[in-house]
A and B are shown apart, each in its own frame.
Chain A
Amino acid sequence: MNSEIATSIPREEELPVAARRPWRALVVQLLGPLTVLGGVVWAVWQPYRIVLLDRAGQGIYDYLFQPPLLVVLVGLAFTFVIAPGLVEDLEVEEQRGPAG
């Protein structure tokens, strides 16, 4: 068969990976802030679960473990400790492409 007529089939994986999966970095970046938002909404919805707002008769553990604040803390930890490195590695992976 004449190779000038029968051209090769375009390879799907030659498309930039970032163009195919741009949502991944966004989802990773949103996980932490959404968790923080959940904790804040919970604190507004049930303010009595924040001991700082009602100190009468509370012990040390009541101050240490306040559920909405724990949620916010987990969200902040993910946002500032886990997510940045993940997004960075994801971008490196996407720049490398499938050949990398």
Chain B
Amino acid sequence: MVPRAESAHWLAAAVSLLIGLLLVAEVVVGTEVFRRRAWRAYLFPAVVVVSSVGLWVITIFSTFSTMHLLAHALWAQAALVAGAVELALVRGKLRSPNWSLVPAFALMVSGVAFLVHEQNAWLYSRSAFLHHAIGWMLVGVAIFPLGQALRPRQVVWRVGFAMTFVLLAVLLFADRDAAPIFGRFGALGGP
């Protein structure tokens, strides 16, 4: 019994919201205070790695379409690599801020995968609209971890990176398998 796509997206949205709250809290209190307790320091990378395992499970069930299978596999791999790098950073195995280039690359690749695997135009349905919106959003927000790598002291990159996950959660929560784009606006809402 496989859940519908929208159910999986809502679960992903909840995880994304939790990650967003964690990152916002880390920006507010500072990394030093946030990582004072080991479990809290490892929470973000652990959630990302576990999410990647969940994405691999979804990949297994994505056999209805080669494009979807490849896209989910790409997201799973991107999340796994980004989580592993974050884990190594927290552990102290990696130290250079240049490692922020890895999540930047992961976001960029994830965004491109969203855009490539959506075969319908923006206004075809809400699902298509959100795929395009999320895809371009992920491509755009890759600038935040990129900025962290180049100018690690500026807080704007960390705030942007944290808000990325909150925004992603909003977009994923809005997803429906079959719904008009802006259902509340009647005929103006699209098909």
Q: What chain B residues lie within 8 Å of A60 (beta carbons)?
A: 1
* B17 in contact (CB, < 8 A): yes
Contact with A along B172-184 (1 / 0, CB 8 A): 0100000000000
B interface secondary structure, majority: helix
A62 to B14, CA, bound (A): 15
Distance from B61 Cβ to chain A, minimum over Cβ atoms (Å): 13
Size range of the interface on B? 20 to 34
Assess whether B21 is in contact with A31, with CB atoms less than 8 Å apart: yes
Q: What chain A residues lie within 8 Å of B94 (beta carbons)?
A: none
> Contact check: which of B10, B34, B37 meets A67 at CB < 8 Å?
B10
The interface-forming segment of B24-32, B97-105, B121-129 is B24-32
Q: What chain A residues lie within 8 Å of B13 (beta carbons)?
A: 67, 70
* B95 in contact (CB, < 8 A): no
Asked if A24 meets B18 with Cβ closer than 8 Å, knowing A31-B24, A65-B7, A89-B36, the reply is no
What is the interface size of chain A, counting residues whose CB is below 8 A from a CB of the partner? 26
A interface secondary structure, majority: helix
Assess whether B11 is in contact with A65, with CB atoms less than 8 Å apart: yes
Distance from B189 Cβ to chain A, minimum over Cβ atoms (Å): 15
A94 to B34, CA, bound (A): 14
A24 to B36, CA, bound (A): 16
Assess whether B21 is in contact with A85, with CB atoms less than 8 Å apart: no
A63 to B33, CA, bound (A): 38
Assess whether B25 is in contact with A65, with CB atoms less than 8 Å apart: no
Given A27-B28, A32-B21, A90-B33, 6 more A-B residue pairs with CB atoms under 8 Å apart are A65-B3, A65-B11, A67-B10, A67-B173, A70-B173, A78-B21
The 7 closest A-B pairs by CB, nearest first: A61-B3, A70-B14, A65-B7, A61-B7, A65-B10, A89-B36, A74-B17
